[in-house]
């Protein structure tokens, strides 16, 4: 991969127990180019927040491999980042799309001859290399007007910082900069909005759902400049395997998200033989990014609401 020059853009972005936990979510997300400048008010809903992806009506599932992610709950804030030296291979393929959601499937392991060598993996009969994290130097992170932290890379090239001293109430905006090292330097900014507030018990909607029936997750506090993201997997995916079916949703924050019943039927058909799984997070986010293609880097500021359901414990 070839890195470009130092980037500079300052854009405004923003983005339950229904609240997510500090462990957060390690799955994908949306990408694109935000715009605008300025900082939000205390709620993160100021008109100064940029309209993420210019209000694109269609889902944006593609994402940069390199990302800074700041997510917050009512009592915690977490910063995590990785700058990768190549594209991230996608193990699943899109089988069907409906509304803001799509169903992803994985049929069986591919066979490559000769066999792939580490860190390559066989996908579709071809060896693809998994990217490795590289350093952009220590991150300087401003969380609202009063909190500033320095986040150096770990010995494996990834970044992490977290606190349980404050949450989204005191972090209406985020600014992140890096001086550049192997990866180039950058500066990005974002609004961060409070979490979605469900209008019903989302868990019960899944429990009471009939086969084939859609589920509508609704919340009372949509943020017009933000978007939402959800990726659902099985116990296989939760425990480090490759789930045969996953559901991915992304779109404008309009106060609700419809999960297609046929997708839920497929998701809950198999892969639920273990415990400690079934938790899902609906993330509200704003995002901006710099660069393009494999060289793009993105900042996302997120808050989320959770729901839980295991089919073997009830429902279809």
Q: Tell me the pLDDT tens digit for each residue of 299-309.
A: 999 999 999 99
The alpha helices in the chain, defined as continuous H runs, are 202-208, 235-238, 261-267
Confidence class of residue 12 from pLDDT cuts 50, 70 and 90? very low
Dump pLDDT digits (tens) for 91-119: 899 999 999 999 999 977 778 889 998 87
Tokens 């939402």 belong to which residue? 228
- C-alpha–C-alpha distance, residues 68 and 174, integer Å: 11
Please give the average per-residue pLDDT across 187-212, as a whole number: 97
High-pLDDT (> 70) share of the chain, %: 84
Burial (CB < 10 A; 0-12, 13-18, 19+), residue 75, is middle
Instruction: Residue 257: name the closest of 193, 199, 301 by CA.
Output: 199
**Cα-to-chain-centroid distance, residue 52:** 14
What distances in angstroms separate CA 277 from CA 64, 88, 203, 274, one per listed residue?
27, 25, 14, 7
Mean pLDDT confidence for 76-89: 94
d(CA 314, CA 206): 9
The yes-or-no verdict on residue 191 having pLDDT over 90 is: yes
3-state DSSP call for residue 166?
A: coil
Residue 226 has pLDDT above 70, yes or no: yes
Query: What is d(CA 106, CA 108) in angstroms, rounded to the nearest whole number?
Result: 6
Alpha-carbon span 269 to 276, nearest angstrom? 18
Structure-derived torsion over alpha carbons of residues 84, 89, 92, 95, reported in degrees to the nearest 10 = 100
Residues 210-225, mean pLDDT to the nearest whole number: 98
pLDDT mean over 129-155? 95
Residue 262 phi, psi dihedral angles, 5° rounding:
-65, -35
Pair of tokens at residue 233? 């997997």
CA atoms of 7 and 18, how far apart (whole Å): 37
Q: What is the pLDDT of residue 154?
A: 96
| pLDDT reading at 143 higher than 60 | yes
Q: Residue 23: which pLDDT band, with cuts at 50, 70 and 90? A: low
Among 143-157, 244-258, 264-278, whose mean pLDDT is lowest?
Answer: 264-278
pLDDT tens for 36-55 read: 333 333 344 445 788 899 99
Distance of CA 203 to the CA centre of its chain: 21
At residue 156 the predicted structure's pLDDT band, cuts being 50, 70 and 90, is very high
Contact predicate 168/40, CB 8 Å: no
Beta-bridge partners for 177: 140, 187
Q: 147-156, long-range: CB within 8 Å, 24+ apart, which pairs? A: 147/171, 149/79, 151/79, 151/81
d(CA 232, CA 248): 6
For the chain, what percent of residues have pLDDT higher than 90?
Answer: 66
């Amino acid at each position: 991969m070839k890195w470009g020059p130092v980037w500079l853009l300052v854009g405004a972005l923003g983005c339950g127990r229904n609240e997510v936990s500090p462990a957060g979510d390690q799955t994908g997300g949306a990408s694109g180019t935000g715009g605008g400048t300025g900082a939000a008010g205390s709620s993160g809903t100021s008109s100064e927040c940029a309209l993420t992806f210019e209000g694109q009506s269609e889902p944006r599932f593609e994402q940069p491999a390199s990302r800074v992610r700041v997510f917050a709950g009512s009592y915690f804030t977490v910063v995590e980042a990785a700058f990768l030296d190549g594209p991230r291979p996608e193990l699943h393929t899109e089988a069907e799309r409906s509304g803001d959601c799509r169903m992803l499937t994985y049929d069986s392991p591919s066979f490559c001859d000769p066999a792939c060598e580490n860190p390559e993996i066989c996908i579709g009969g071809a060896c693809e290399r998994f990217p490795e994290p590289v350093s952009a130097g220590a991150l300087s992170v401003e969380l609202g007007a009063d909190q500033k932290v320095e986040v150096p890379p770990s010995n494996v090239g990834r970044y992490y910082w977290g606190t349980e001293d404050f949450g989204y109430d005191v972090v209406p905006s985020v600014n992140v900069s890096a001086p550049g090292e192997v990866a180039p330097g950058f500066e990005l900014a974002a609004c961060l909005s409070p979490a979605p507030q469900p209008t019903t018990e989302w868990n019960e909607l899944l429990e009471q759902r009939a086969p084939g029936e859609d589920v509508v997750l609704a919340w009372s506090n949509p943020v017009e400049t933000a978007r939402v993201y959800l990726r659902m997997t099985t116990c296989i995916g939760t425990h480090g395997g490759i789930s045969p079916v996953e559901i991915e949703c992304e779109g404008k924050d309009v106060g609700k998200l419809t999960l297609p019943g046929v997708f839920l039927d497929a998701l809950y058909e198999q892969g639920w033989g273990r415990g400690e799984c079934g938790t899902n997070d609906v993330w509200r986010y704003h995002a901006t990014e710099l660069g393009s293609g494999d060289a793009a880097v993105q900042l996302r500021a997120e808050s989320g609401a959770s729901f839980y359901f295991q089919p073997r414990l009830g429902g279809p």
